[in-house]
Amino acid sequence: MPVIFNEPLSFLQRLTEYMEHTYLIHQANAYSDSIERMKCVAAFAVSAVASQWERTGKPFNPLLGETYELVREDLGFRLISEQVSHHPPVSAFHAEGLKKDFVFHGSIYPKLKFWGKSVEAEPKGIITLELPRYNEAYTWTNPTCCVHNIIVGQLWIEQYGNLEVLNHKTGERCCLNFKPCGLFGKELHKVEGYILDKSKKKVCSLYGKWTECMYIVDSAAMEAHKRSGKRTEEKKNCKQMYSFTSFAMQLNELDRDMEGLIPKTDCRLRPDIRAMENGDIDLASEEKKRLEEKQRAARKTRSKSDDDWKTKWFHQGQNPHNGSQDWLFSAGYWDRNYSLLPDIY
């Protein structure tokens, strides 16, 4: 695919945008009532897709072994992600609160479907949020994303499908429906749902737009509502910057101190993405082609020697909360010992 269809971020960096609204996790931790925590977690789950609005550029496919780290002391978290498989493509991530107040992890393997004029991405994989203070774990799967008019016309994005957040300790759940656009576009971006307590009684309803904000209301009185979360306002010139949010614009920042600290597999050091961010499209295209050829050559060499690829920071295992197969953090990354990493760039 020509590089002009890309945005200057790796898919690992796109995953990191889940953390833009980390304040909702901190809010959840502040509530002693589990239903109030569920409201915040549900808003956080919806916020994970908010940055995709008008983001019609495709992130670069991560190379096998590619990594990305982000430490945000102002937001109270650190994150590490790794491309753990190439066929099928699987990206694993692990984030944790700097005060050990939460753990957020998952693995994503998007399943693409082409429908002539549109492309649909179904984000297979389980997302898990753990709140140690309450010994709680929440799991969910993101809705389907569809990009329309990929051949001709104005590109536009919609999210549709069901998202269910389950509290494995209490049995409470939040059921959300991302509505498809419909014939006349009346349902575009709309999200509706409700929270059930452990006895499956509906305790409140949620509605709004994943591009704007969510409201929590009493199920019997839809008129009275309160705001639970709102998408960060865009910068005025964001259209000239691939419709990035302020958070996304900072993901490629690289200063001298950081360059000497991060591993050589980090996305920030990937030459095709860096060239595209610098506005050199021809160089970005050349580097993208070179890296893809290098990856194919490495895979061919491994196949001849029966030398299987070994992931560095994650391992396959059973999700302790729902029993499904998952990619779990192996620890050790933050020890900063990167001497045995592969040369992928």
- The strand ranges marked E within 55-143 are 58-60, 67-72, 77-85, 90-97, 103-114, 118-124, 127-131, 136-140
Domains of the chain in start order, with CATH, are: 3-257 (2.40.160.120)
pTM, full prediction: 0.90
pLDDT at 182: 75
Per-residue pLDDT reduced to its tens digit, 74-86: 999 999 999 999 9
pLDDT at 226: 45
pLDDT at 236: 56
Amino acid at site 103: V
pLDDT at 9: 95
Q: Are 291 and 345 in contact (CB under 8 A)?
A: yes
pLDDT at 235: 52
Tabulate helix, strand, coil % of the chain (nearest 5): 25, 35, 35
Q: How many angstroms separate the CA atoms of 154 and 34, rounded?
A: 43
Regions of the chain where pLDDT drops below 50:
223-224, 226
Q: Are 313 and 33 in contact (CB under 8 A)?
A: no
pLDDT at 254: 93
